[in-house]
Amino acid sequence: MTKKRKPGRRVRYWHGLGLCLDPFSVRRIETAQMRGHAVRADASPECREYVYASRSREVALAFSVLGGGNAVCEIRPGSLAAEVDPDFPTLGVRFRGPVTAVSVEVVEGAALPNARQIIKALAADYLWSDSTPQYFEDGYLRAPPLSRSRGYVDDDFRWLGRWWPWHFLFPSDNGSEMVLDEQGQPYLMFPPNYPGLNGRPRIPAGSLESAWTRPGFYPNHMDWLRRHRQRVQAGGAMALAEIRLPWEW
């Protein structure tokens, strides 16, 4: 007697809706090209032809928050083949054409992931420009290639805490590096042999582990930097005095 083969378990896919005024009305997810939407400047033109998704609800929700949203939907691609997302090959897939939304979940504010949780969810595919991982397995940031070329080492970034959102680390032309927290508060660190330190610490002894823990908040990093510069320009010496130096805390 021949045994019947059990049907394979259906693969489930989730899509992060991003900014969406009426998520419960969503029945179909269309490509950016179909919607007439532009894509980010550094994206390849072909990405307009795809809908992006993940086999992980957590990953889809992370992308939703990055896009200014708070909802995910389970999708069914029908006959469309799942292709590897070239930007997130471990975590993401994409479908060339529209897909059907079979359910929508809106996540309330307090239950949304914070910036550190978003980074943790996506860290498997975050690589520096030299293709090295951006994070250690325990969540600490690895020194970026530019920082390493200036003499920084991995331990110099541990004060940022686990899963620090790398977008909010800004290298300066003079070798110093600035980070901004979710309040816009700036902190500085310096490379070895930086002139003028006169024996003072170049790396803060404190920790920013509690920064970037506000649920659902992950602003555009360039907007955040622009806001900081505008505040410094408008505030002059008083604004500069608010920048936290390593030996001050």
1 falls within a domain? no
What is the per-residue pLDDT across 45-104, written as a single tens digit (0 to 9) for each? 788 899 999 999 999 999 999 999 999 999 999 999 999 999 999 999 999 999 999 999
2 falls within a domain? no
Termini Cα distance of the chain: 76
62 falls within a domain? yes
User: What's the number of domains the chain is made of?
Assistant: 2
Alpha helices in the chain, H assignment, sequence order? 32-35, 57-66, 115-122, 145-149, 221-241
Region 203-220: mean pLDDT is: 97
Question: What's the confidence (pLDDT) of residue 213?
Answer: 98
Question: What's the confidence (pLDDT) of residue 26?
Answer: 93
Tokens of 16: 């992060």
pTM over cut 0.85: yes
Distance CA 63, CA 70 (A): 9
What is the per-residue pLDDT across 115-169, written as a single tens digit (0 to 9) for each? 999 999 999 999 999 999 999 999 999 999 999 999 999 999 999 999 999 999 9
Burial class (CB in 10 A: 0-12, 13-18, 19+), 196: exposed
224 falls within a domain? yes
Question: What's the confidence (pLDDT) of residue 132?
Answer: 97
Alpha helices in 45-164, H assignment, sequence order? 57-66, 115-122, 145-149
Question: What's the confidence (pLDDT) of residue 6?
Answer: 58
**The pLDDT of residue 1 is above 60:** no
Host domain of residue 149: 115-248
Question: What's the confidence (pLDDT) of residue 105?
Answer: 97
Same domain (yes/no): 99, 215: no
What is the per-residue pLDDT across 161-206, written as a single tens digit (0 to 9) for each? 999 999 999 999 999 999 999 999 999 999 999 999 999 999 999 9
Distance CA 141, CA 146 (A): 14
CA 6 from chain center: how many Å?
Answer: 40
Average pLDDT of the chain?
Answer: 93
Region 14-41: mean pLDDT is: 85
Same domain (yes/no): 74, 20: yes
Same domain (yes/no): 31, 53: yes
Region 37-43: mean pLDDT is: 66
